[in-house]
Structure 1
Amino acid sequence: MVSPDRPILIAGGGVAGLTAALTLAAEGFPVRLFEAAQEFGEVGAGLQLSPNATHILRRLGVLEHLLPHAVAPTGVVLRDATTLRQLTEIPLTESAARYGAPYLVAHRAAIQQALLAAVKAQPAIIIEKDAQVLSAEFGTDDVTLTLSRDGSTTTIKGAFLVGADGVWSSLRRFVQQDQPVDSVFSGMTAWRTTIDRGTAEALGLSSLIRFDKVSTFLDPKAHLVAYPISAGKALNLVAITRGTAGTKDWSQTDGQAALTAFLSRLGAPLQHLSTLTTWTRWPLYSAPAGLKWTARRLVLTGDAAHAMLPFAAQGAAMAIEDAAVLASLLGQHRTDLERALPLYEAERRPRIDRLLARGKLNRMAWHAAGPIAFGRDMVLRLKGPQSLARDLDWLYGWKEPREQR
């Protein structure tokens, strides 16, 4: 039984963990969240949040804090990276009316700060920073965590544990007979940087990269995504190239040969992006196939469960969906929390599998060459913008279980 002295425990203070804390508190559960870092600070740059996620954030009181710092793009433009020819544009202007919530792009830090602002308004949530989970013991009706905190070791008891500790999750081992479970390197690297609006205009980018759209440039070996953040004051740039594995660090700057080669193939004026010195390397990892997400009184959410490549721009959205589904099921089975575990995995896995398949399709299409690229371009022309938008109804039109009760 969950109680203030036996709350639900959450390991991880990123998007997955903070959203889980909010959804669980909304169901009436007391929550204690442990973040390993000394201070909250989302690494990276921008995130895309589609309506399947933003309708949840609106209910949780997050959207009101985020909107002043976000942009609602009017469309997603696909172009050939070399010729710069526009292949199609998927409209987003009707997203709010069509799906009941907006499509937003924003800086990761703004999203985290909006989540934290909503958390602070919830007295049921206690957050502890600089608290690293060392081990966990699962009893018949409780969980005991051993934590490294403030230079010492301590134990905390709770009713249930949510593992939201990211792509390199240490808690995965508890769903795999206590054996370490590593993420799988994809063979690709994300190069990320941000530039302010003035720099973008000075480089001559404004004719190609609009500050009211998501722009994607496709190449057989790589692709570039650009979209506005910080209320349109800056531009987020992400180049996906082939690459090598790296350390568990999001701020590497070495090994730029693949990035330089890609940027040199871009049509002018995009080649000017090679003059930027702020690119950082993010080797892309995904969760291993077939990983269980639940065991005993533990459930994995977000990247800890199903870290995926960014070809569908849904990593954060899936973590937010996970939180909503988990809280709803635990709320329905609050006297027997373990009953919710197989239900959670049964509900979430088909959607995640469908999204992973969509990501593989996008990867093949975006990095296509020769006849495959010709066929891709023909399909995009024949389907047209409105049909391409309808193809995403299953994804963007998803509603949390709470709305279906």
Structure 2
Amino acid sequence: MTGQARRIIVAGAGIAGLTAALAFAARGCFVEIYERAPRLEEAGAGLQLSPNATRILASLGVIDALSPLAVRPEAVVLRDARTLREVTRVPLGGGAERRWGAPYLVAHRADLQGALLARLRSNDNIKLATGAVVSGFASRPDGVTVAVERGGTTEEISGELLVGADGVWSSIRELTGANGKSRFAGDVAWRSTLRAESPAGRAFQSIARSDVVTAFMHRSVHLIAYPVRGGSAVNLVALAKGQAFAKIRPEAADPDGLAAALRGTAPGIARLAQEAGPWTLWPLHTVAPAAQWTAAGRVVLIGDAAHAMTPFAAQGAAMAIEDAATLAAFVAAAPADMGGALARYEAIRRPRIAQVSKRGALNRFTWHASGPVALARNLVLAVLPGAKLAADLDWLYGWTVPEAES
């Protein structure tokens, strides 16, 4: 680091915060990350990384570390959960990489976090502190002073920008007084990861292939399954209406509750629900994207802290990664105009987030259709060629970080 390097402070060491640190450091900034957890542990479950995200991760040198543990699925396959019949598929694999210039990957969240950390630890311009809580900030004309509590003491850290990347229950969002409270979306997610060679893994392979992303569609629930951990495990998530409960940590799921949600699906799916446990239950919370993203000209929210969305478009991680790269580009391009850079960043990102959220809502409606609507859905999807379904995703997967005005 030189004496003139710009100093960026990041709250949160999840996917958004770690990606932001790498993106800012790549543009010559010095970055300090403060994470409230005492240690970074393996947590979460699987995630899908579409080309709009992997393109950025590749530019930051992360894909090389992630690739041995990730899987490149051959397709996204939609199946009727009652009959297990394939309705349609979107081709991925090599064709996706040729079409969108980057791979479509599925991975365990902990493996992505590990790859980000490996890249971060090789960069002397990034410092990470755990067990550290950002408890306040004061904006100045030339920067921001951040209060950080750790080890029973409070210290003040100065920088040019505070990035709130601390998730759906963001404390930075609360500190700004933003009107964006997280709210329960009305859906819950049952999650489990099973070994591919276990009895449950073999039960799964009897109803679907393990080298694709499969969505089993049903009127009251849909089940998503795809390989992780280099193909040695399968990630399962069932999404349905449910009740809100305590935030922060998932609860152990009652298998009877999942069995009830899956009532009416094929026997193979119901059997899988019994054999695949243990399951954890997560409430889905969102943050209205219209809420405030910036404060005092020196504080900005990214990822779930700004606009947590439901997972029906499989774009939560991708939007956090896009946010991080776009923010770094716009801030780096305007060294003397932080307020203007944040305004331009927000103007670019809001329409994109709104469009992705609408796609998620459409997916949920499509996957949970019933009766004549489901029949019409199946008929329409069955006649659409895979190339047409892929082309309909060009706006999403072909996205690149916009050029920032200097």
- TM interval, short-chain normalised: over 0.9
CA distance 1:326–1:170, change in 2 (3 Å):
same
What residue ranges of structure 1 are gaps of 5+ in the alignment? none
Code of the residue aligned with 1:291 in structure 2: it is A
Output one character per residue of 1:328-384: Cα deviation in whole Å (capped at 9) or x when no partner.
101110122221011000000111100011111001101111121122112212322
What residue ranges of structure 2 are gaps of 5+ in the alignment? none
Do 1:77 and 1:86's aligned partners in 2 also have CA atoms closer than 8 Å?
A: yes
Output one character per residue of 1:21-57: Cα deviation in whole Å (capped at 9) or x when no partner.
0000011111101011111125211010000010111
Output one character per residue of 1:198-247: Cα deviation in whole Å (capped at 9) or x when no partner.
12566522132222100110111110000000000000000001111111
For 2:242, the equivalent position in structure 1 comes to: 243
Deviation of 1:137 after TM superposition, in Å, equals 1.5
RMSD: 2.0
Moved more, 82-91 or 62-71: 82-91
CA distance 1:315–1:183, change in 2 (3 Å):
same
Deviation of 1:192 after TM superposition, in Å, equals 0.5
Instruction: Write out aligned runs for 1:55-70 (5 A).
Output: 55-70=55-70
Do 1:241 and 1:259's aligned partners in 2 also have CA atoms closer than 8 Å?
A: no
The total of aligned residue pairs comes to 402
Code of the residue aligned with 2:82 in structure 1: it is T
- Could you tell me how far apart the structure 2 residues matched to 1:212 and 1:274 are? 20
For 2:157, the equivalent position in structure 1 comes to: 156
Q: Does residue 1:192 correspond to 2:191, yes or no?
A: yes
Instruction: Write out aligned runs for 1:261-300 (5 A).
Output: 261-275=260-274, 276-296=276-296, 297-300=298-301
Q: Does residue 1:310 correspond to 2:311, yes or no?
A: yes
- Could you tell me how far apart the structure 2 residues matched to 1:403 and 1:330 are? 9
Output one character per residue of 1:86-140: Cα deviation in whole Å (capped at 9) or x when no partner.
1101100211111111000011110000000111121111111110111122122
Question: What TM-score do you get using the length of structure 2 for normalisation?
Answer: 0.94
Instruction: Write out aligned runs for 1:281-360 (5 A).
Output: 281-296=281-296, 297-360=298-361
Deviation of 1:271 after TM superposition, in Å, equals 1.6
- Could you tell me how far apart the structure 1 residues matched to 2:55 and 2:109 are? 18
CA distance 1:88–1:333, change in 2 (3 Å):
same
- Could you tell me how far apart the structure 2 residues matched to 1:326 and 1:200 are? 46
Q: Secondary structure at the match of 1:358?
A: helix
- Could you tell me how far apart the structure 1 residues matched to 2:289 and 2:335 are? 30
Moved more, 336-345 or 254-263: 254-263
- Could you tell me how far apart the structure 2 residues matched to 1:404 and 1:342 are? 12
Do 1:6 and 1:157's aligned partners in 2 also have CA atoms closer than 8 Å?
A: no
Do 1:4 and 1:30's aligned partners in 2 also have CA atoms closer than 8 Å?
A: no
Moved over 3 A (4+): 2-6, 200-203, 254-258, 402-405
Code of the residue aligned with 1:333 in structure 2: it is A
For 2:226, the equivalent position in structure 1 comes to: 227
* Percent identity of paired positions between Structure 1 and Structure 2: 48
Instruction: Write out aligned runs for 1:72-221 (5 A).
Output: 72-93=72-93, 94-175=95-176, 178=177, 181-199=180-198, 203-221=202-220
Question: What TM-score do you get using the length of structure 1 for normalisation?
Answer: 0.95
Q: Secondary structure at the match of 2:313?
A: coil
- Could you tell me how far apart the structure 2 residues matched to 1:251 and 1:142 are? 37
Code of the residue aligned with 1:140 in structure 2: it is P
- Could you tell me how far apart the structure 1 residues matched to 2:10 and 2:239 are? 32
Q: Does residue 1:37 correspond to 2:10, yes or no?
A: no
CA distance 1:389–1:79, change in 2 (3 Å):
same
For 1:28, the equivalent position in structure 2 comes to: 28
Do 2:253 and 2:279's aligned partners in 1 also have CA atoms closer than 8 Å?
A: no
